[in-house]
Amino acid sequence: MLLAATKRKRALADLSAARFENSFVQSLPADPVVINVPRQVANACYTRVEPTPVAEPRLLAWSDAMGELLGLARPEPEAVQVLAGNRVLPGMQPYAARYGGHQFGHWAGQLGDGRAITLAEIIASDGSRQELQLKGAGKTPYSRTADGRAVLRSSLREFACSEAMFHLGVPTTRALSLVATGEAVIRDMFYDGHPAPEPGAIVCRVAPSFVRFGNFQILAANNELDALRALADYAIGHHYAGHTYASWYHEVCRRTALLMVDWMRLGFVHGVMNTDNMSILGVTIDYGPYGWLEGYDPMWTPNTTDAQTQRYTYGNQPGIAQWNLARLAEALLPIAEREPLEEGLNLYADTFNAGWREALISRSSSGDWRRCRLRAATNSCSRRSPRLSMTRRRHIRSSWPGCVAMSPGRASRTRAGRRACTGSTRSTSSAITSQCRPSRRSAPAMPRCSSG
């Protein structure tokens, strides 16, 4: 066993010796303008841009587990320069992605990678394709009025939580490295009008893809249908092989539902579930003002900017995810039929409701969450999840304070179920926009989703 471990360790290579690929850049339309200034971009999925060098990069943290998956050894000083954005290796074609999104329920127009730059893709030891992305690597055309940097405080939080979520069995982006920049970044930590310098840092994030719902939204909103179709074909070809547009969307809905079950059973609160923070792979992405429940409070949010509206509270997360999926469905209407998209939203509701019931049952028995996810995925193949007996419902209610198990049909007929989200400013189909109805009651019952 020791010999096998030694061989595996010796097989790890320095980042500078790695072989890189750039399928996203080579497959999709690029921004023809190469000037790196904040501006509106059209008819493109990304803009080629290089990271902005920093003064004194210093490695603070390295994930041995992630490095081993990528076949990378702990970085030498030259490799740290790459992870800090001071050097671009041969074979890398860095870019910032273009996307839009609904932020706090309102269409925000063009957003994009304002401080994240994807360096390249690398084929991992398990054969998977993984993207390397530097967060806090400097300004891009999508930075708007921001400085493109990140502080150590938030970067450390993302590094630690993304790796923790992975080891908790939750689909997530990963973190490879954390590098101090040696430069100060001005931030208003408490949003009280007193900005102050903080240590800067760059985290290297890793995922098979960083494509979000918002990548499709911005193309549909600007009627860039050729690029929209190309992006959908890319996502299917590289991450959902063999799927049609409809079955691909169904799978995105199913994965997102299972992700919400994971968040809810762990008491995780993302804090900023805008459509541009929703992954097309159904993984947790963008660790900003996240938090964890200490006591059960369905109306709690760690995001101080959401304290009044309470849109992204713990209890609202499953409904918000469904609302976001409806916005994605609207973006796909130019290339897909409406009825299969609506069926995808029903599948989301069935998958979440089945998974949530299994999670509550497992909490008082085996606690085997991976088996719970498998059963939820299997049970959601039918249009309606099986109804629970009244005895089982009472058992579930008693096992999790404040939660009420409800069938999809009953949930859609409640007063909260009749209250539609008001966030969309680009509704394309009333049938699609009517699917998600998150409650904003002061003390909501069990998180639930309507299947129509």
Catalytic residues: 276
Mark 55-88 as b/e (b = at least 16 C-beta within 10 Å): eebebbbbbeebbbbbbbbebeeebbbbbbbbbb
3-state SS, one letter per residue, for the chain: CHHHHHHHHHCCECHHHCCEECHHHHHCCECCCCCCCCCCCCCCCEEECCCCCCCCCEEEEECHHHHHHHCECCCCHHHHHHHCCCCCCCCCCCEEECCEEEECCEEEEECCCCCEEEEEEEECCCCCEEEEEEECCCCCCCCCCCCCCCEHHHHHHHHHHHHHHHHCCCCECEEEEEEEEEEEEEECCCCCCCCEEEEEEEEEEEECCCCEHHHHHHHHHCCCHHHHHHHHHHHHHHHCCCCCHHHHHHHHHHHHHHHHHHHHHHCEECCCCCHHHCECCCCECCCCCCEECCCCCCCCCCCHHHCCCCCCCHHHHHHHHHHHHHHHHHHHCCCCCHHHHHHHHHHHHHHHHHHHHHHHHHHCCCCCHHHHHHHHHHHCCCCCCCCCCHHHHHHHHHHCCCCCCCCHHHHHCCHHHHCCCCCCCCCCCHHHHCCCCCCCCCCCCCCCCCCC
CA 253 to chain centre: 13
| CB atoms near residue 382 (< 10 Å) | 11
Q: How far apart are CA 152 and CA 183, in angstroms?
A: 10
Pairing of strands 95-97, 58-62: unpaired
User: Which region, left, alpha or beta, applies to residue 383 given φ > 0 means left and ψ of -120 to 50 means alpha?
Assistant: alpha
Region at 353 (left for phi over 0; alpha for psi -120 to 50; beta for the rest): alpha
Distance of CA 317 to the CA centre of its chain: 13
Structure-token pair, residue 184: 């100060």
